[in-house]
Chain A
Amino acid sequence: MRQRVVPARNRCSPRWRVTGASRVRLLNRLCGLETEYAMRFRPNEASIHKPSKFHLYRCLVGMLRQRVLTVPAKHFKEGIFIANGGAVWFEAERPASGAGLVEGSTPECRSPHDLLVYQRAQDRMLAESASAGTVNGQLSLIKNDRDSQGNVYGAQENYEATIATGWQLWIWRTGLVAIIPILLFAWLGLLVMIACTLTYLAVVAMLYLPLRIFRLWQPPVAIFLFGKDLATGQETGNPTPAWMEPIVIWFTRLVTAPLAGALLLLVRLSGFRQIQRQLLPFLVSRSLIAGSGMVDTYGNFHLADKAPAINCVVGLGGFVADRPIFNVGHFFKTLCGEACFSIREYFDLFHQRQRLQLGLGDSNMSEVSEYLRVGTTMLVLDAIEAGQLPSVPRIRRPIRALHNICADPSLQHEIPVSSAEKIQALELQRFYFTACQRFVDRQIDVPEEANQILAIWKEALDGLQELQESDGKSLQLLGKLDWVTKKHLLDSALSDTPWPALKKIDIRYHELSSEGYFEMLKATDCVTTLVDAKEIDRAMRVPPAGTPATTRGHYIREFSQEAARFVVNWKSVIFDQGEGTKRVRLSNYGKPSVHQPAQSFPDWQEQKE
């Protein structure tokens, strides 16, 4: 029998500080998912020139526009908003290289079930648009987090949460004021960079026109100078030529580095501190129930696709190759970009309720895994914010613990926690499950969904326990948890199966087409579904109730085919009426079931600019 360092009862029993019933509104916070999809293109004929990813994205969006109402997004990157309040973007770290991804953002939802439905609606819309594309080949999307070269992308979660209370909130707000000089320096640097880029493009354009008239211009020269062949219009989605891209990126990092450092310091002192401390052990062990599984370059199996690439607890998400669990990059983007054009964006950062973004989490194919990922996290957040989560074990070296947990599909690995104790990831999950169950039991008005999440969570943990005790032979969770299902497929392969074939199983499991392995498994009874086709059909057209998406979707449905200049972003709807711009802010979105927003909410702020 395995030697345990500390008796399980001592390690897993939450110590309670509160007594008596309480009234907390459970599962009632804004939440949303961002998912990056890889594009796989196979030309019909080998001779066909391979289009850029940006071109494929444009084809996909063209097909999507034929299916649902859309409007252009007013944002720093190319994108559209959909009638259900969600959005589709072209995401590229280095667009000039021809690479890139399709990114889908669900509308803001209020419950895990809604979020699951809208995520599935997004998957279906994008997959159908890809398969109906007009390019000379087959386009399909891969909903995963890592390619065969180890490049990482994938999913992010967003939850409305309290950034701080008491003196920490005071520090947060004071810090936002104190960084203004650093902010102004960053803006100045960015303005200089933009001015230099525009001057360069203007000078080159003046040279281009006469040479073009006399037909002395060659496409390769145009691509070198402009980043695109102006004659054919073959675009990469990048406004600058490829050689300029690294210069722009590094110059941007240089001038914004002081701001990045100041923001990270501020977050370390006061931003989401309580949530970070109490949620971290849960997230470190969450791969057990929500990991998608992954084969590494040595052929070893990991529980999660993205977790092995995570390298810090808090970070800006890609500023200096950081891949954090808690991503505060959206604060940084707001300060560097949006606040430069609207002072209101800056003052919005002073609110107590802010967006908590999690970079640790996989794109799931299984509905059960996806539902558990969001539902359990929301329950734990509810318990934390209600002050009713017992003292959690403090993990030493959490990133190393995360990697070690994910590298052990036998679920036996023990991670060191405070007081020289050791604990298994499954025991950590049991701790949070028990804590949440007691928290829910103590509430007066409990939504049925809370009990549903607890029931599925318990079933998953019991199944994992059985899997652990049977040395991985139990099939109870086949078709329910992604990593268990993928591992079963991989284990079925012969021992001499070459690595590319194993990796193909790993990746094609996530392909959103009839040839995708998980899609095939859906035809069997072993895959458990939680939403039905009618719910998904509706979610493709109608936004969720009681969120900013409700209002956004209303305007898109009403005006997308009328107003000549009508753009949308996450915070407002903007009309260009010729005489001026009218902006409808979405922050006062009001109560659930809004069908006539203009009548229901006469106090909407409509600003003439």
Chain B
Amino acid sequence: MSAVSRQQEKVLQNQADAAPPRESSPTLLDEIMQHVLADSKCDSESYLRETDVPHGGE
């Protein structure tokens, strides 16, 4: 088996190993969601100013 094939097999195995979404750790996901919602309201305007990119890019 070629190195590429082994690599692809590993990737597919990683995917297969991935736990079913959501149900496995609802508490952690809920905690993060709560944190995100709380953090988003904190200093949001200054955060937006800090991340502004005048004139944009290419």
Binding site for B on A (CB under 8 A): 34, 36, 38, 40-42, 91-94, 97, 99, 101, 103, 111, 113, 142, 147-149, 151-154, 156, 317-318, 329, 447-449, 452, 475-476, 478-479, 489, 492-493, 497-498, 500-505, 507-508, 515, 517, 520-521, 523-526, 528-532, 535
Give how many A-B residue pairs fall within 8 Å (CB-CB): 148
Tell me how far the C-beta of A320 lies from the nearest C-beta in chain B, rounded to whole angstroms.
Answer: 14
* Interchain residue pairs with CB less than 8 A apart (26): A40-B50, A42-B50, A93-B55, A93-B58, A99-B55, A113-B8, A142-B51, A147-B53, A147-B56, A148-B49, A151-B52, A151-B53, A151-B57, A152-B56, A153-B57, A154-B57, A449-B8, A498-B44, A500-B44, A501-B40, A504-B39, A517-B32, A520-B35, A524-B29, A526-B25, A529-B18
* B5 x A448 contact (CB < 8 A): yes
Contacts of A142 in B (CB 8 A): 51
Interchain CB contact under 8 A, A500 and B48:
yes
Which DSSP category, helix, strand, loop or mixed, fits chain B's interface? helix
A153 partner residues in chain B, CB cutoff 8 A? 53, 56-58
Instruction: Kindly list chain B residues whose C-beta atoms are within 8 Å of the C-beta of A478.
Output: 21-22
- A42, A111, A507 pick with most chain B CB within 10 angstroms: A507
Most buried by B among A523, A524, A528: A524
**Is there contact, CB below 8 Å, between B44 and A38?**
no
CB contact under 8 A between A38 and B51, given known A501-B44, A508-B40, A532-B14: yes
Taking a contact as CB atoms under 8 Å apart, the answer to whether B48 and A503 are in contact is yes
Contact of B15 among A479, A502, A530 (CB under 8 A): A530
> Interface readout for B15-37 with A: 1 if CB under 8 Å, 0 if not?
10011111011001100110111
Asked if A521 meets B48 with Cβ closer than 8 Å, knowing A113-B11, A528-B15, the reply is no
Find out whether the CB atom of B53 lies under 8 angstroms from the CB atom of A101: yes
Residue in chain A with minimal CB distance to B47:
A504
- Contact, CB under 8 Å: A503 / B44: yes
Contacts of B15 in A (CB 8 A): 528, 530
Residues of B within 8 A of A530 (CB): 11, 14-15
Contacts of B8 in A (CB 8 A): 113, 448-449, 452
Chain A residues, CB < 8 A from B40: 493, 497, 501-502, 504-505, 508
Q: Which residue of B lies closest to A144 (CB)?
A: B51
B46 nearest CB neighbor, chain A only: A42
* CB nearest neighbor in B for A500: B44
**Cβ–Cβ contact B53 & A475, under 8 A:** no
Q: Is A497 touching B56 in the complex (CB atoms < 8 A)?
A: no
A99 to B22, CA, bound (A): 41
Decide yes or no: A504 and B54 within 8 Å by CB, A497-B41, A526-B22 being known contacts: no
B-chain residues with CB within 8 Å of residue A531 when the two chains form the complex: 11
Q: Is the CB–CB distance between B32 and A524 below 8 Å? A: yes
Kindly provide the distance from the CB of A176 to the nearest chain B CB, expressed in whole angstroms: 24
In the complex, what distance in Å separates the CA atom of A40 from the CA atom of B52?
A: 8
Query: Nearest-CB distance from A454 to chain B (Å)?
Result: 13
Q: Are B37 and A93 in contact (CB under 8 A)?
A: no
* Cα(A577)–Cα(B45), bound, Å: 54
- Determine the interface band of chain B, counting residues with CB < 8 A from chain A: 35 or more
Set A99, A489, A515: member contacting B53, Cβ < 8 A: A99
A99 to B53, CA, bound (A): 6
Shortest distance from the beta carbon of A95 to any chain B beta carbon, whole Å: 9
Least CB distance from A510 to B in Å reads: 9
CB of A94 within 8 A of CB of B54, answer: yes
Q: Which residues of A contact B29 (CB under 8 A)?
A: 521, 524, 526
- In the bound complex, how far is the Cα of B24 from the Cα of A113, in angstroms? 28
In the bound complex, CA of A504 to CA of B48 (Å): 7
How many angstroms between the C-alpha atoms of A515 and B28 in the bound complex? Answer: 15
Q: How many angstroms between the C-alpha atoms of A431 and B31 in the bound complex?
A: 40
- Shortest C-beta distance, A564 to chain B (Å), equals 32
Do B57 and A521 have beta carbons less than 8 Å apart?
A: no
Q: Find out whether the CB atom of A489 lies under 8 angstroms from the CB atom of B33.
A: yes
Contacting pair A489 B36 (CB below 8 A): yes
Q: What residues of B have a CB within 8 angstroms of the CB of A525 in the complex?
A: 18-22, 24-25
The interface residues of chain B lying within 8 Å CB-to-CB of A517 are 32, 36
Chain A contacts for B58, CB-based, 8 A? 34, 36, 91, 93, 103, 153, 156, 317-318, 329
CA distance A515 to B12 in the complex (A): 29
- Whether A38 and B28, one on each chain, are in contact in the complex, defined by CB atoms closer than 8 angstroms, is no
Contacts of A475 in B (CB 8 A): 21-22
Q: Which residue of B lies closest to A91 (CB)?
A: B57
B11 touching A149, Cβ below 8 Å: no
Q: Are B47 and A94 closer than 8 Å at their CB atoms?
A: no
Top 4 A-B residue pairs of the complex, sorted by shortest distance between their CB atoms: A153-B57, A151-B56, A500-B44, A148-B48
Q: How far, in whole Å, are A497 and B38 apart by their CA atoms in the complex?
A: 11
Contact A151 B54 (CB under 8 A): yes
Contacts A91-B57, A497-B41, A520-B32 supplied; 8 other A-B pairs, CB < 8 Å? A40-B50, A42-B50, A99-B55, A147-B48, A147-B56, A151-B56, A151-B57, A489-B33
Query: In whole angstroms, what is the CA distance A515 to B38 when docked?
Result: 13
- B5 CB, nearest partner CB in chain A, Å: 6
Closest chain A residue to B32 by CB distance? A520
- Known contacts: A448-B5, A528-B18. The answer to whether A147 contacts B51 by CB under 8 A is yes
Query: Shortest distance in angstroms between A458's beta carbon and chain B's nearest beta carbon?
Result: 13
A455 to B42, CA, bound (A): 41
In the bound assembly, the distance between CA atoms of A38 and B49 in angstroms comes to 12
Distance to closest chain B CB from A117 (angstroms): 10
The answer on a CB contact under 8 Å between A452 and B12 is yes
Question: Which residues of chain B are near A498, meaning CB under 8 Å?
Answer: 41, 44
Q: Closest CB-CB distance, B1 to chain A, in whole Å?
A: 10
Q: How far is the CA of A282 from the CA of B14 in the complex (A)?
A: 29
Chain B residue with Cβ nearest A493: B37
Are B53 and A38 in touch, CB under 8 angstroms? yes
Cα-based distance from A153 to B52 in the complex (angstroms): 11
CB nearest neighbor in A for B48: A148
